[in-house]
Amino acid sequence: MTAPNVPHFDPDRSRARAAGDETPVVLTGADLTIADIEAVARAGVRAQLDVHARERMQEARDVIATLVSNGAVVYGVTTGFGDLASTVIPPEQAAQLQENLLMSHAAGVGPAFPREVVRTMLLLRANTLALGHSGCRPIVVDRLLDLLRLGVHPVVPEQGSVGASGDLAPLAHLALPLIGRGRAEFGGRVVTGAEALLAVGLEPLTLQAKEGLALLNGTQMMSAIGALLLADADRLVRTASVAAAMSVEALLGTDVAFAAAYQLARPHPGQIAVAAELRHLLRDSGLQASHHGHAHKVQDPYSLRCQPQVAGACLQQVQDVARTLLLEANGVSDNPLVFGKEGDVLSGGNFHAEPVAFAADNLALAIAEIGALGERRIAMLIDDSLSQLPAFLVRHGGLNSGFMIAQVTAAALASENKSLAHPASVDSLPTSANQEDHVSMATFAARR
């Protein structure tokens, strides 16, 4: 089988967007970035389907149409789903099957996701369909992008996915308004899917064979949360360097431990990057200049001295998570997959979200460690036995408590983070009559 005719995806490249850049995001299925995701989800930038992606989608759709017309038995196309895969569905019931699939799988519970998560889900689902391996018509992607463009945001409950066979329940809720079902938030009100479509002048879609499955079989809920948190975590790691540099100054610490030669002796890329950031932030400090060539300050406590080693390890985790989530955002987690040029339809397990589960768990570890290190510096700053600063950073201590309770709150949050960082990916409960006998729990890993 030849390789699919799609753009090459390089997860290491960086394509930043300038603030206020409203250039539309063009979905090829293969080169979506975190900056693109943020632009659409948080800044309302428009997205549109690439012309070549449209051609690939139509090519794959023609394969599905041929299979249906020939009466072929293909999982998810002319059969039931999961443990009902041996039940053949006649062609005249194909549309009803798709609607039944969405309705039966919309079994999520709990509070609804915020708007930015839902917008990211719509974008990611459109992008994965754009690769042309899901066998749905281009109009399905057009309609997902219409919801984004017109501000129709499906109501998607947070709970109900185990992260294998994808995010079935959440994605079913996401797709229901396309067919005039479910609920959506529009204009600040929650209305029925039919009311939302009527308000923006759209007709409900009548889904054809395979399209219902193509809409709900994937990892777009967990990936949506992960992508947005990744953007925030990247800013958190870099902000932590600023806080650390300020703490070094306030506590009369030394930047000697951040020297390039010292860091290169143990060449972890994240460690080297954070140390360089600290040196840059402290470059004009008269205090640091006074330490160079003198021995009056040999070394500091670990929460200052080991910022490159700890935050650098966290930065590496964030970068590894970015690689995983970008690959996921630009891959196909549907099943079965259609290969248009060859006319093949192949079943497998791309919907299993173990890579995303590990990524979310590792991101939680990195966030917790950044917080733990920050709490220790706060404790040093308010403790006059460890610093040359007033106790609790306040004059007239006793009359005023200063930042005493700020550190207590930081300690409470750091402790809570430890529990939240417990991995979700080590758990599994079989579902779907043991057809799905190992699941990733990646969705909870991302939500947590």
User: For position 370, what pLDDT does the model report?
Assistant: 96
- 35-44, 48-57, 82-91, 363-372: least confident range: 82-91
Q: Which listed residue (75, 113, 258, 392) is catalytic?
A: 75
Q: What are the tokens at 420?
A: 């939240």
Give the strand pairing for 47-49 and 25-27.
Answer: parallel
Q: Tens digit of pLDDT for each residue in 396-408?
A: 888 899 999 999 9
| E strand or H helix at 230 | helix 220-250
User: For position 215, what pLDDT does the model report?
Assistant: 95
More confident residue, 288 or 13: 288
Instruction: Tell me if 262 sits within 8 A of 301, measured CB to CB.
Output: no
User: For position 6, what pLDDT does the model report?
Assistant: 42
User: For position 1, what pLDDT does the model report?
Assistant: 37
User: For position 341, what pLDDT does the model report?
Assistant: 77
User: For position 432, what pLDDT does the model report?
Assistant: 65
Q: Tens digit of pLDDT for each residue in 7-16?
A: 444 444 445 6
User: For position 4, what pLDDT does the model report?
Assistant: 41
User: For position 295, what pLDDT does the model report?
Assistant: 54
Instruction: Tell me if 312 sits within 8 A of 268, measured CB to CB.
Output: yes
Residue 18: pLDDT over 80:
no
Residue 58: pLDDT over 90:
yes
pLDDT, average across residues 48-59: 97
- 336, with CB counted inside 10 A (0-12, 13-18, 19+), is buried
Identify the residue whose tokens are 């950073």: 393
pLDDT, average across residues 421-444: 75
DSSP E strand stretches across 90-237: 109-112, 153-154, 157-159, 183-186, 189-192
User: For position 83, what pLDDT does the model report?
Assistant: 62
User: For position 2, what pLDDT does the model report?
Assistant: 39
Q: State the pLDDT confidence band at 82, using cuts at 50, 70 and 90.
A: low
For residue 351, the SS3 value is coil
| Highest mean pLDDT pick, 93-97, 190-194, 391-395 | 190-194
pTM confidence score: 0.89
Q: If we measure between CA atoms, which residue out of 124, 129, 134 comes closest to residue 156?
A: 124
Q: What are the tokens at 287?
A: 């205090």
User: For position 5, what pLDDT does the model report?
Assistant: 45
Q: If we measure between CA atoms, which residue out of 254, 282, 249, 279 comes closest to residue 264?
A: 279
% of the chain exceeding 70 in pLDDT: 92
Q: Tens digit of pLDDT for each residue in 301-345?
A: 999 999 999 999 999 999 999 999 999 999 999 988 999 778 888
Distance, CA of 445 to CA of 377 (rounded, Å):
28
* Catalytic status, residue 302: no
- 34-38, 92-96, 350-354, 418-422: least confident range: 92-96
- 2-11, 104-113, 333-342: least confident range: 2-11
Instruction: Tell me if 390 sits within 8 A of 399, measured CB to CB.
Output: no
Distance, CA of 339 to CA of 194 (rounded, Å):
34
% of the chain exceeding 90 in pLDDT: 69
Q: List, in order, residues 6 or more apart from 297 with CB less than 8 Å away.
A: 252, 253, 254, 256, 291
User: For position 81, what pLDDT does the model report?
Assistant: 67
Q: State the pLDDT confidence band at 19, using cuts at 50, 70 and 90.
A: confident
Instruction: Tell me if 98 sits within 8 A of 135, measured CB to CB.
Output: no
Instruction: Tell me if 330 sits within 8 A of 9, measured CB to CB.
Output: yes
Q: Tens digit of pLDDT for each residue in 168-199?
A: 999 999 999 999 999 999 999 999 999 999 99
Q: State the pLDDT confidence band at 69, using cuts at 50, 70 and 90.
A: confident
Helix, strand and coil in the chain, % to nearest 5: 55, 10, 40
Residue 47: pLDDT over 80:
yes
Q: Tens digit of pLDDT for each residue in 249-277?
A: 999 999 999 999 999 999 999 999 999 99
Distance, CA of 375 to CA of 359 (rounded, Å):
24
- Evaluate the omega torsion of the peptide bond into residue 336 and state whether it is cis, within 30 degrees of 0: yes
Helical H runs in 22-73?
34-43, 51-69
